[in-house]
Amino acid sequence: MSSKTATGTTSGLVAIDAGGRIPPFEQVRSQIAAQIAAGYLVDGQRLPSVRALAEELRLAPGTVAKAYTLLEESGLVHTARGAGTRVVRPADVPADVADAVRALVGTARAAGLSADQTATALRDAWPA
């Protein structure tokens, strides 16, 4: 159930500050991401459809779709036809792997590679 506030709208999942400086798609993305990180949204939990959340928040469906796309690109949700958009709780990464990833990022940045180029290099190196 959504409610109208003096400065925006809210649903059970997200609150939009219509007068704020942060674009609505980013408000949706960041609030859902924070709830996943905090464990309030759990692995496999289904998010509202784009259309349903857009209606609740009185936003254009494209605004919510953009937020969901960014969440999917960051690996926090997965969308499948017929199954909807579901939370993908990131696995706990061992400290030595996290250290190696930080070293890879530093080396890639020093070489002038983008995050996408670095991810492609990592996928190419991963055995099938």
Q: The pTM is what?
A: 0.66
Amino acid occupying residue 89: R
Per-residue model confidence as pLDDT tens for the chain (128 residues)? 555 544 466 668 899 998 889 999 999 999 999 999 888 999 999 999 999 999 999 999 999 999 999 999 999 999 998 889 999 977 777 889 888 989 999 999 999 999 889 888 888 888 86
Q: Which helix (H) or strand (E) covers residue 84, if one does? A: strand 84-87
CATH number at residue 61: 1.10.10.10
- Crossing angle of helices 95-110 and 115-125, rounded to 10°: 120
* Pair 79, 28 in one domain: yes
Instruction: Provide the number of structural domains found in the chain.
Output: 2
Distance CA 37, CA 86 (A): 14
* Pair 50, 83 in one domain: yes
Full residue range of the structural domain in which residue 79 is found: 3-87
Q: Which long-range contacts (CB under 8 A, 24 or more apart) does 57-63 make?
A: 57/2, 57/9, 57/10, 57/11, 57/14, 57/16, 57/24, 57/28, 58/2, 58/4, 58/9, 58/16, 59/9, 59/16, 59/24, 59/28, 63/24, 63/25, 63/28
Distance CA 113, CA 40 (A): 35
